[in-house]
Each structure stands twice: as structure tokens, then as C-alpha cells.
Homo-oligomer: A and B are copies of this chain.
Amino acid sequence: MRRTVQLLPAVLILAALGSAQRRGLDVEYRDTAGRLLGAALVDEGGWKKLSHITTQIGPRLSGSPQLERALQWIFESMNAEGLENVRLQPVKVPHWVRGSESARMLAPIDKALNMLGLGGSVGTTPQGVTAPVIVVRTFDELEAVGRAKVEGKIVLYDDVWTDYGGTSLYRGSGAERAARLGAVAALVRSTAGASLYTAHTGSQRDSDGAPKIPAAAITVEDAAWIRRLLESGQAVTVCLKMEAQTLPDADSANVMGEIVGRELPNEVVVLGGHIDSWDVGQGAHDDASGVISAWQALSLVKRLGLKPRRTLRAVGWTNEENGVRGGTAYRNEIAAQQKHVAAIEMDDGAERPLGFDFSLRDAGPESPQSLSAQRKLEEIVRLLDAIGVTRIVPGGGGTDIAPLKQDGTPTLGLFNLREHYFDWHHSDADTLDKIDPQYFRRCIAALAIMSYVLADMPGTLAD
């Protein structure tokens, strides 16, 4: 009894000591975070890089010479900065080319339609596809119209914008669904939050079972115009011409550099964005801002002479837009050989950052493991309070790190206000002038501090 009596207080004392010793990560990393935050908020190097890739190189579609220029430039610049193990991981990517393209309403009004062919679409013959148009809002409406009225027509999907997931359905498989009912081409109202007569491209998929028909996005304005003409009882005829074609797979690469961990070099925190973009605008928000923010975060850690416990690696993944070949190859060839303790992607643009979303495979948001990770992340974001990055929400990741998530790596995404992202996304309007340099610096700061602490802290998120 006496020993028991003696033991209990000892346990309590030890527990109390443990609690006192297990300082919050915000306490532990306050000084280091201050150095990183200060450096990021006055940083000019990130903007210079962002300016270079957007205005000197331009858009970077898989298979394009611009993408190869961007990869080479990052490879050389990372080496020049003294990052370690800088490399290009070869990846074969789909090679779709747009060629010349146009759409024109021929009747009842003769009018050029601003358009962008959808990535992966087949082209037309040189004389184009000329056919009457029918308009539907949804797949249910298409099915209700039925084959007899769809056959030989151009189907226009005029779904009202709700959110990206809901609306991009029609871009993704509208052509296939229309083709199965005998349509000769598909047009989709651009997947956009707001429009100033802007066309937005994006990927679409053909299915092996269905005939392949050309598919293009038109503007919100023209989709509404055509709908009104049809609703007034008039026939609308459109001519669509596209030279689009898919060439044999092209050579590309993931590009990466790192700071090798001082204690656990084979444990990795990876952060990045995708280096490819669509072939319009500058791919500035999507996703030059992400890949450059991640790289610059690493550059700042390096410049401050910080060397975390684990390896910290910045990656520019290739081919996110139309294949995810980069993210898949990274998982298969690199992550398969090294323990990845966390993966962070920034691929939502560089509007005002608000927090990180995160997810742990096989652990629901209410599981003890998730709650423990949530606590640690909340401690880390306390260090970002002053720049408005305060929230940790479930459901995180990014397209390029989804393969890592499937293998059990905890994944995080930097999320932001998303006020205008889908006004610019996949269009000629996604250009450097849409990025606020101060918000961009905050993104760099958030990535630098989050990734550094995750790479340096005693345990991992999954512990």
C-alpha cells in the first residue's frame, strides 16, 4: 500500500513534468518562425521568380517548349542557390496541342464566339462541324431530350455556376455523354465564377466506348445569348473548327531540390505545386504561384542557414492539368523509397491565405490520431496568426499529392479566400497582374513555417 501511495504522486508528478516539458510547437518554434516570417514578408526573390516564369516563359502546357524551359530554369536556379540533390525526374506526359480554332454562330445572328477547345478534345475537319444547337443545363435534361433530338446536333451545356466540382462535370464528360446520344460536338458554358467575355479551358475525357467528338468552352455571355435565341423559338446554327490533336507522349520531368535532414535524412516533408499549366494566360495563380511559393519557402530556410531534423524538399510536379503523370511518378519512384511524413501542396492560387486543410488516410476527423495531428497543426498556425493564416480544417491535399495520400502520407493544402480564383482559372486572364504581392508573400511565409516545423519537430503528424 505504502509503495502504491508513494507511486501515485510520482506518476502525477511525472505527468505534470511531461506536460510542462512538452511545450507547444508554437512555443518551441517561436523564434525560428519569427525569422522565417520576417524574411518572407520582405522577400523579393519569390516575386522575381514568379515574374520570370509568368512573363518571360509564359504558359506551360505538357509537351510544350515553355514547360521544358521552366523545368530547366528551376533546375539551374535551385543548383545556383545551393539546394541539395537538385534533380529532374523524367516523366512521360500526354501531348495535346490546340492548333488554330474558332467558333461562329451562323444563324439567326452572324457572330464570332470566343472559345477555347477543351484539353484532350479531338479536332474537326478543316471545314469544321456545322450543326443546329440544342441547349441543356444538366445530364438529366440531356437524357430527357433523348437521342432523337440530340442526334446530329451540337449540344451546349449551360449549367449555372455553383462551384467548381459541380460545374466542371459538364466540361469533363459532357462531350462523352452527348456523343453517346449521337451529338456531333459539345460546347460548354465556361466554368467560371464571373465573366467578362472570357473563355476557360480545362481537361475533358473521352471514354473508350463512346465516339469522340470535338468539345470547346464558350463564354457565359454567348451561352446565355444562344439560350435566349433558342428560347424565343429560333434555330441556332454554329460552326466549330478545331485543329486539336493528341501527339505521342512527350518527355517532361518533375523538378526538385532539398535541404537534407540533419538527423533523419530519409524522412521527408515534401512541398510543392505543379509546374505545368494550360496553354493560355500565364498560368500565374494556377499554379506558378504554388510552385514558386514552395520553392521560395525552401530558399528562405536555406538562406537562414536552418537545417531541419528531416529532409525538406520542394517539388514542381509536371502534368497536373491533363494527366497527373508527375504526381504519380513521384509516388512510384521516389516516395516508394523514402518515408514521407507529410506532403503539402499549394494549388488554389495566391489570394489571401487563411489556413491549411489536412487529412490522414484511414483516420476520420474525430479519431484520436486526427485530433492529435489537428492539435499540432493548430499550434503551428498560431505562429501565422499575424498574417491571417489561422485555420486548420479537415479534407486536405492536392491533386499531385493525392497518390501519396493513398499510401498513407498525411497531406495538407494551403487554402485561401478564393474570391476570384475561378474568374481567372484556365483562362487568358490568369496572369501576374492578378496576384497581390503581399498575399503571395504570406503564402511563402505560411509554407515555410509549416513545412519547416513539420520537418523539424520531434514526432510526426501521424504519431
- In the complex, which residues of chain B have a beta carbon less than 8 angstroms from the beta carbon of A431? 197, 221, 224-225
Beta-carbon contact of B281 and A197 below 8 Å: yes
The listed residue (B58, B220, B281, B433) touching A433 by CB distance below 8 A is B220
Which stretch from A21-29, A347-355, A356-364, A420-428 is at the chain B interface?
Answer: A420-428
Indicate if A107 sits at the interface (CB-CB under 8 A).
Answer: no
Interchain CA distance A372-B432 in the complex, whole Å? 53
- In the complex, which residues of chain B have a beta carbon less than 8 angstroms from the beta carbon of A114? 428
Interchain CA distance A220-B281 in the complex, whole Å? 12
Indicate if A367 sits at the interface (CB-CB under 8 A).
Answer: no
Assuming A51-B228, A220-B433, A432-B228, is B197 touching A109 (CB within 8 A)? no
- A190-243 interface with B by 8 A CB criterion: 194-198, 219-221, 224-225, 228-229, 232
Assuming A429-B221, A433-B220, is B197 touching A55 (CB within 8 A)? no
The listed residue (B109, B224, B232, B433) touching A221 by CB distance below 8 A is B433
**Who on chain B is nearest to A433 by CB?**
B224
- A33-80 interface with B by 8 A CB criterion: 51, 55-56, 58
Indicate if A111 sits at the interface (CB-CB under 8 A).
Answer: yes
Residues of A within 8 A of B (CB): 51, 55-56, 58, 109, 111, 114, 194-198, 219-221, 224-225, 228-229, 232, 281-282, 423-424, 427-429, 431-433
Closest 9 CB pairs of A and B: A197-B428, A196-B196, A196-B429, A196-B198, A197-B429, A55-B228, A221-B431, A224-B433, A197-B198
